[in-house]
Structure 1
Amino acid sequence: MSDLNRCSWCVGDPLYEAYHDLEWGVPVLDDDKLFEFLSLETFQAGLSWITVLRKRENFREAFDNFDYRLVANYEGPKITELMNNAGIIRNQLKIRAAVTNAQKFMKIQDEFGSFSQYMWNFVDGKPIQNSIKDPKETPATTELSDKLSKDLKKRGFKFVGSTVIYAHMQATGMVNDHHVNCFRHSEVKEIGKKISAI
């Protein structure tokens, strides 16, 4: 598959290319998966996504496969254990943020029925289809990610700045930012047409 046209940011690294080809931009409606992406993206803050991607399996093992019900109850001994885990990003603020976010995640579920319902309400249940020709046109934030970030912060979430949230929207298919000459642009667009998140 190396002869395919891909978004330039992933080219040259097999792990990055596989993530791009199979996951990035595909609409995610499952709460468990949304929590994993949100958690990984908060750990990415200030770092590159490939750094997180290479540690993804370590994160899954360390964080009980990102079961937010379990993460929400992590306390001192577990925090210490995570801080001693060289396989993940050992940032105490981000580790504690994952616990806080799991707690707030469940509050949103109680209010909206699911976290997916809450998130997808911001795009009326349908992915935003962009037509990016030049990689330099890809935004880091948008008015919508600003709005969603602000609402999550108001609800007590941590490490959910607009840049993190826009990355989350791209990863989970709320927005299709595959470049128009990328083979996945049209494929992801078709997938998006078939889903209705609300």
Structure 2
Amino acid sequence: MSYCNFCKSLPEDNVHRIYHDQFYGHPIEDDQALFERLVLEINQAGLSWDTILKKQEGFKEAYDAFDIEVVAGYGESDFERLLQDARIIRNRLKINAAIYNAQRILELQKEFGSFKNWICEHYPLEKQEWVKLFKKNFKFVGGEIVNEFLQSSGYLPTPHDADCPVHEEIENLKNRFDYGTS
């Protein structure tokens, strides 16, 4: 069953329905929102998306609203604090990846002006090329994580079924989205 069909019958206040209707596949331009999505996708590895959606607000609070500069500056005490925070996934590798990736995004922002610009500089690529690029630049990013990150943030084709009402909405948004290719 596709995610669209799964969400279709859910109540409008269900976390999956909200994510499906308002966020999944919608183009993201804001660096903090892109960083948030990357952290959430990394944390989903090996777990259900339901778990991540239910913990999303906890992640936001624990990671200082995904302020890239703040997270990039986290030290040992922040790392230990996150390991003890039940609102998030308490996995050393995933926490370390969030901090490292924030530091790397700051470097990319200096070079390209923004994380979004860095992505757009390489747009469009095939999935395998994206995976190589992300593995070269970030930690804890395998094929599925990169694929879901790029699909869910609008840089790969919409993951919505063609007959899903959100599909057309996303296609219209993507037609107005600046991928930096013009």
Residues 137-148 of structure 1 mapped to structure 2, 5 A cutoff: 144-148=126-130
Residue equivalent to 1:186: 168
For structure 1, the residue ranges without an aligned partner over 5 or more in a row are: 1-5, 125-142
Does residue 172 of structure 1 match 2:153? yes
- How many residue pairs get aligned? The number is 174
Q: Give the AA of the match of 2:135.
A: K
Residue equivalent to 1:42: 42
Residues 29-178 of structure 1 mapped to structure 2, 5 A cutoff: 29-124=29-124, 144-155=126-137, 157-174=138-155, 175-178=157-160
What is the alpha-carbon distance in structure 2 between the residues aligned to residue 145 and residue 42 of structure 1? 17
CA shift for structure 1 position 152: 2.2
Q: Give the AA of the match of 1:160.
A: V
SS at match of 1:7: helix
Instruction: Please give the per-residue CA displacement for 1:15-41, whole angstroms capped at 9, x wherever unaligned.
Output: 100111111111111111111101111
RMSD over equivalenced CA pairs, Å: 1.6
Contact in 2 for aligned 1:29/1:197 (Cα 8 Å) = no
Residue equivalent to 2:4: 7
Moved over 6 A (4+): none
Give the percent of matched residue pairs that are identical in Structure 1 and Structure 2.
39
Normalised TM-score (structure 2): 0.89
Q: Give the AA of the match of 2:149.
A: H
CA shift for structure 1 position 57: 0.1
Q: Give the AA of the match of 1:54.
A: K
What is the alpha-carbon distance in structure 1 between the residues aligned to residue 114 and residue 127 of structure 2? 19
What is the alpha-carbon distance in structure 2 between the residues aligned to residue 54 and residue 112 of structure 1? 34
Normalised TM-score (structure 1): 0.83
Q: Give the AA of the match of 1:96.
A: N
Q: Give the AA of the match of 1:76.
A: E
More helix by percentage: 2
CA shift for structure 1 position 112: 1.4
Q: 1:164 to 1:9 in 2, by over 3 A?
A: farther
What is the alpha-carbon distance in structure 2 between the residues aligned to residue 105 and residue 84 of structure 1? 25
What is the alpha-carbon distance in structure 1 between the residues aligned to residue 26 and residue 65 of structure 2? 20
Contact in 1 for aligned 2:24/2:153 (Cα 8 Å) = yes
What is the alpha-carbon distance in structure 2 between the residues aligned to residue 115 and residue 9 of structure 1? 32
Q: 1:48 to 1:120 in 2, by over 3 A?
A: farther
